[in-house]
Amino acid sequence: MDNWLTAPAAELGRGIEAGKIDPRDLTERYLTAIAEHPFASRIYARLTEARARAEADAAADRAKKGLRRSPLDGVPISWKDLYDIAGVATESGTALLAGRVPDRDARVLTNATQAGLVCLGKTHQTELAFSGLGLNPVTASPPCVNDHDAVSGGSSSGAGTSVAFGLAAAGIGSDTGGSVRIPCVWNDLVGLKTRHGRLSLEGVVPLCARFDTVGPLCRNVEDAALLLAAMENGKAADLTGASLKGVRLGALQTQAFNGIEGAAREAFQDAIERLQAAGATTQPIEIPAVAEAAALAPTVFPAEAFATWQERIDAEGDKMYGPVRTRFLQGQTISAVAFIQAWRELDCLRLVYAEATAEFDAVVLPSCPILPPKAEALLADEDLFTSKNLLALQNTRIGNLMGLAAITLPTGTPSTGLMLQGPNEERLLRLAVAAEEALR
């Protein structure tokens, strides 16, 4: 195998298992690619070369002895800069946390390390993970793989681009309102948003603790399943024999198509036709609870985000990128009463949504209604930044508001995606691997 830098993580793992790939050579290949890449400093915040080489050495020894710990043992991946790595600065893309060095790994990193995964380093992100565009003039803004003048999607911008540019076999990001899925959409990757609470948030710099989730950004659905298992020290979903025959999909209307651009609409429609050709049936559905939940977003997200970071923002907020700071400050006038009432209403809407979608195997919608905007245009116009950010997250945050798992798949049209969402990751992954085959 000579395509190591573009191969899925699972394929690399099989190469290690077969003795065709030495984890040490694989790790060096990635470290060399990073060192030579013109965008490396805009993608990686910090590298962990010594750790990566030591982990690769151990993986090679296990492979030689037939003691591999998991299908991904020896495979190098990247980590978003909000996952604690012992002895390495973890700053969540903001000057407010400059010099913050934790003394222990995040729980999901510990689990992944025990599964034999190799840690390449920390990737850039949106400041404190509070934007879906991937623009961060405070640290760095990774470019989109399809348009180097455009943003890459956030907040897990570096995690996505580390994979898209061949600088990691997979990346681990976080998703509070779409931060795993938007970089995957715009960089033609697979992104899994797990349900809140599925994976540990211990050692993860928070944004909104009631919405924050951990998820992988990768090349295919198999990788997503294996990475989920590695991060929770569990067993991967069985994807064998997955089919779309007899599958019933609810195609969410109205809210999911507000402001949608032509390329995204056409790519979604083409994707739906391919799913139908593979045996799925789709039924348009309108769920008023979705719009009602979206109306609560300006209360539940900023209030918790500001409460989490008020002390730092009050003291050093002038160090932040203006539009991101503005998003946080929207939470300072929201009362505790309004926040609690909004959450009570949201809990009721989740039940309404669950009942309205119970007859379907999953709900399907465009992953993102827009294509990646140009970075310079966003920097020049704060109002444009705000409007594009809201549009970028419009569809993905439905899954967060409703407490669902969601996965985005590339449609084949650059920077567009098809999203499946439902209440269970394993079931969703089986549907997604069948959909992936249909879309391929």
Measure the CA–CA gap between 379 and 60, rounded to whole angstroms. Answer: 46
pLDDT-based confidence at residue 254 (cuts at 50, 70, 90): confident
- C-alpha angle 22-26-32 in degrees, rounded to nearest 5: 145
Residue-wise pLDDT tens digits, 353-403: 999 999 999 999 999 999 999 999 999 999 999 999 999 999 999 999 999
Instruction: Give the residue extent of every domain in the chain.
Output: 9-232, 248-296+321-439
Counting every residue written for the chain, the total comes to 440
- Would you say 25 and 2 are in contact if contact means Cβ atoms under 8 Å apart? no
User: Is the per-residue pLDDT at 1 higher than 70?
Assistant: no
Q: What DSSP state is assigned to residue 318?
A: G
Measure the CA–CA gap between 138 and 39, rounded to whole angstroms. Answer: 16
What pTM does this model have? 0.98
**Average pLDDT of every residue of the chain:** 98
Tell me the percentage of the chain whose pLDDT exceeds 90.
Answer: 99
- Mean pLDDT, residues 226-252 taken together: 98
Residue-wise pLDDT tens digits, 417-436: 999 999 999 999 999 999 99
User: What pLDDT was estimated at residue 252?
Assistant: 98
Give the number of other CB atoms < 10 A from CB of residue 33.
Answer: 16
- Would you say 97 and 88 are in contact if contact means Cβ atoms under 8 Å apart? no
Instruction: Locate 384 and state its tokens.
Output: 């444009």
Residue 265, classified by CB atoms within 10 Å of its CB into exposed (0-12), middle (13-18) or buried (19+), is middle
Measure the CA–CA gap between 69 and 109, rounded to whole angstroms. Answer: 15
- Mean pLDDT, residues 304-324 taken together: 98
What fold, for 9-232?
Answer: Amidase signature (AS) enzymes (3.90.1300)
Residue 263, classified by CB atoms within 10 Å of its CB into exposed (0-12), middle (13-18) or buried (19+), is middle
pLDDT-based confidence at residue 5 (cuts at 50, 70, 90): very high
Tell me the percentage of the chain whose pLDDT exceeds 70.
Answer: 100
Nearest to 254 by CA among 293, 295, 292, 286: 286
Q: Which CATH architecture has domain 248-296+321-439?
A: Alpha-Beta Complex (3.90)
- Would you say 366 and 260 are in contact if contact means Cβ atoms under 8 Å apart? yes
User: Quick check: do 9-232 and 248-296+321-439 share a fold?
Assistant: yes
Residue-wise pLDDT tens digits, 130-139: 999 999 999 9
User: Is the per-residue pLDDT at 210 higher than 80?
Assistant: yes
User: Is the per-residue pLDDT at 2 higher than 80?
Assistant: no
Residue-wise pLDDT tens digits, 168-209: 999 999 999 999 999 999 999 999 999 999 999 999 999 999
Only one residue has tokens 């985000």, namely 305
Residue-wise pLDDT tens digits, 48-60: 999 999 999 999 9
Instruction: Locate 167 and state its tokens.
Output: 């600088």
